[in-house]
Amino acid sequence: MEECVFCKIVDGKIPSAKVYEDSKVISFLDILPANKGHCLVVPKKHAQNLLDMGEDDLIATMKAAKKVARALSLSFGNGSFNIVMNNGKEAGQVVNHAHIHLIPRFQKDRLRIKWSHLKYEENEMKEYAEKVKKFI
């Protein structure tokens, strides 16, 4: 995709602080990090989100995410990190190219990833489960 910033990074048209690359995936530091060391793991083949990714690219991206997460953990001396993938505008996806955020966490950092908790009404949980199962 010509206008996709991540495709431009993959093609070398925009510089990045690469931390990992193989034939299917690239990983680099986020230019607007939630914490220093925040990396993005991006499939080289353009896909808008998780649902658009091919199986091979999904597997390669997750394997690369694990490698980068391990490297983050070792480089910062702790095993704490968040792994986040926003899919779609309502979920907070800004760049419409599938990507995984790996955010190192530190004691006393100021980052808060928090959501409110809802409760299901009587029988509602079963209804939602049935709706989802119809499409699996």
User: What whole-number distance in Å separates Cα of residue 105 and Cα of residue 82?
Assistant: 7
User: Which candidate in 38, 46, 97, 99 is catalytic?
Assistant: 99
CA distance 87 to 90: 8
Q: Is 117 a catalytic residue?
A: no
**CA contacts within 13 A on the Cβ side of 7:** 10
Residue 103 pairs with which residues in a beta bridge? Answer: 82
Active site members: 99
